[in-house]
Amino acid sequence: TELQPTGATGVDIILNGGASVAGHVVNLTTNEAVADVSLRASSPYAMSTMETTTDDQGSFIFAGLSAGTQHFEVLDDNLVVSSDSISVELASDQLIDDLEIRVAVGAMVAGRVYDEETDVGVNAVTISARPENIPTASSKEVTTDSAGYYLLQGLNEGNYRI
């Protein structure tokens, strides 16, 4: 593409609206729609993310996504996507209108941070669980309470670094 001088005429500019993905979120066990759950679409190559929330019928739409691989995840303290990951390959103006994301209540890890000598709980320590071998996965974080206890919820099956 050549640089055009100010005031040039006869220049065509074509804007691409991007790809769109629509679908619904359902509970793996009951097959019922899951309303008011937040989702994230992320593209590791375009280094972009987009978020949306399901409506009363569990429906969602992402518009203006970049071409390439898009990964979808649930942003919820308790729910997890029932498979390891949901990814789709998109062309620049492609429409997918039937993506079904099945979710379930995730696993949890509980524990306590304390002083070994006094057995007094340590308050306000950030505990993080990061999935091993999944570079695009988000960490889950919680903070210990006044007695040093913590509860990490909504974890997928797998190995984590705490």
pLDDT tens sequence across 66-84: 889 999 989 998 998 887 5
Q: Which amino acid is at 19?
A: A
Residue 58 is predicted with a pLDDT of 97
For 101, the 3-state DSSP assignment is strand
User: Is 138 in contact with 73 (CB distance < 8 Å)?
Assistant: yes
Asked if the model's pLDDT at residue 14 lies above 70, the reply is: no
For residues 58 and 14, the model is more confident at 58
In this structure, are residues 148 and 112 in contact, taking their beta carbons and an 8 Å threshold?
A: yes
Measured CA to CA, the distance from residue 30 to residue 3 in angstroms comes to 57
pLDDT at 134 over 80: no
What is residue 46's three-state secondary structure? coil
Mean pLDDT of the chain: 89
Smallest CA-to-CA distance from 70 within 53, 92, 54 is with 92
Residue 55: pLDDT band with limits 50, 70, 90: very high
